[in-house]
Amino acid sequence: MNNKFFAVIAVVFVGLAFAVVAFVVFLTRGKSAFWIDKKMLLGGVLLSLTSFLGAGCSGCGQVTCYAPANPDPEILCYDVPDPNYENDSSDTQQSDTLKNGEKK
């Protein structure tokens, strides 16, 4: 028997214990710190066990429903003037020009 079988059995029992403790918290109207603490503890154990079950086999790629990222993204630089462009005015800001268009 492998570890996943025991993890499934543990999830069932921890899930049942979580349901019982949640019902007791409901009956006490959430005023008992002891039962709320136990509910949080069992909830954390339940999340840990389900993440163990959902991890898949080691060495296998994880299947997601997202498209993979582009491995070689295109980098665009707009702040560098193009040396092949003859009439490049990218080095002039509006604060550097006078009203008639001349440079300061």
Name the phi and psi angles at 54, rounded to 5.
Answer: -85, -5
pTM: 0.51
Output 65 or 41, whichever has higher pLDDT.
Answer: 41
* CA dist., res. 57 & res. 88, Å (int): 57
pLDDT-derived band at 69 (thresholds 50, 70, 90) equals: low
- Condensed to tens digits (0 to 9), the pLDDT of residues 7-23 reads 788 889 999 999 999 99
pLDDT of residue 38: 94
* CA dist., res. 93 & res. 96, Å (int): 5
pLDDT of residue 19: 95
42: tokens are 């069992």
- Condensed to tens digits (0 to 9), the pLDDT of residues 51-61 reads 877 765 555 56
Q: Where are the domains of the chain?
A: 15-54
pLDDT of residue 2: 76
